[in-house]
Amino acid sequence: MGKDEEARVDRARGRVFGEVAELYEASRPGYADAPAARVLEYAEPGERPALEVGAGTGKATVAFAEAGTSPVCVEPDPRMAEVLRRNTAPFPRVRVEAAGFEEWRRDGRRFGLLYAATSWHWLDPARRRDLVREALDPGGALALFWNPHGVRAPRLHGAPAEVDARHGITGTPHGVLASSYGRAAGGGRLGRGAGLARGRAPRRRRVHRPARGPFPRGPALRHRPLPGLPGLPLPLPGPGPDHRERVLADTAGVLDAHGGGIAMEHFSDLLLARTAR
C-alpha cells in the first residue's frame, strides 16, 4: 500500500469514532489542564480567535474553554459534533462546525491559534500544513498534542500484548511499554507538524500526569479497541458478541492473574510551532 492509499485509509478510520460517539465520550481519557495552559502561554492569542481541528466530543475543548478561550471547533463526524455541542453548552461562545478540515469553509477567517488534540494524524498529510498556514494569522501558533500511555513494568507487558496479537488488535495502551516513548516529547505524530516557518524549530514539551495504577479490570475492559480496526483505541462494541466476549474474557484473565490491574504511565506530549510574521 502506497503512502497516498495509507493516508486515505487513515482518514476513513478517523470517521469510525462517530459510530460509538457516546462510548467514546464515556471511556476515552481526557486532557490535563496543564497542556491547555502551556499552549495558551506560548500562543498568546489575545483577542484573536482559536481554531480546534478534529475536536471530537470535546475532550480538549472544555479545558480550553475553561481557560477562557472560545474556539471554533471543526469536527468531521456529525455524531461526534452532536456530543461536542452538548459538552460545550455551558460555554455559549464556543462554535461547532461539522466538517472535515480539508473541506471546511474558512470564509476568510484567520486565527491566532490552531490546535489539534490527538487528531493531526487523521488529516491529509499532503494538505494539512498549507491549510494551517492559510488559517493562521502571521505569527499565529500551531499546537499539537496527544496522550501517550503504556504499561509501566516490562514484566507485565507481554501478557496483554499477546492477547492483542491473538485477536488482531493493535494500538492499545496495554500493548505498549511506557518506556518506549523515551524521556522527551516526540514521535512521528508530533514530528510531522514541524516546518511551519523556515528557521523556526518547533518546541516540544512533555507534561507528566500522575501514574495511573493499577489499571483496573473495569476501565481496562472499557478501553478495548475495535477488533479489525488497527490503531483505533476505542471502546469495544463489536464486531460481534462472540468475538467481543472472547476478547473481554482473555483480557480479564490477564488482569486477574496480575492482581486485578496493571499499572500505567500517562502523560501529555506537545509540539508548539509558529508561522512567520
Q: How many angstroms separate the CA atoms of 237 and 231, rounded?
A: 16
The three-class DSSP label of residue 214 is strand
How far, in Å, CA of 142 to CA of 185, rounded?
16
Distance between CA 111 and CA 140 in Å, rounded?
Answer: 7
For position 105, what pLDDT does the model report?
Answer: 95
Positions in the chain whose pLDDT score sits under 70: 1-30, 32-34, 171, 173-174, 186-200, 209-241, 244
The DSSP element (H or E) to which 115 belongs, if any, is strand 111-117
| Whole-number pLDDT of residue 199 | 47
pLDDT of residue 205: 84
Q: Report the candidate in 64, 71, 127, 80 with the shortest Cα–Cα distance to residue 101.
A: 127
Going by C-alpha positions, the residue among 251, 258, 172, 244 that lies closest to residue 218 is: 251
**Closest to 111 measured CA to CA, from 78, 77, 151, 64:** 64
What is this structure's pTM? 0.76
Domain ranges for the chain, please list them.
3-151+177-213+265-274
How far apart are the C-alpha atoms of 24 and 34, rounded to whole Å? 22
Domain 3-151+177-213+265-274 class in CATH? alpha beta
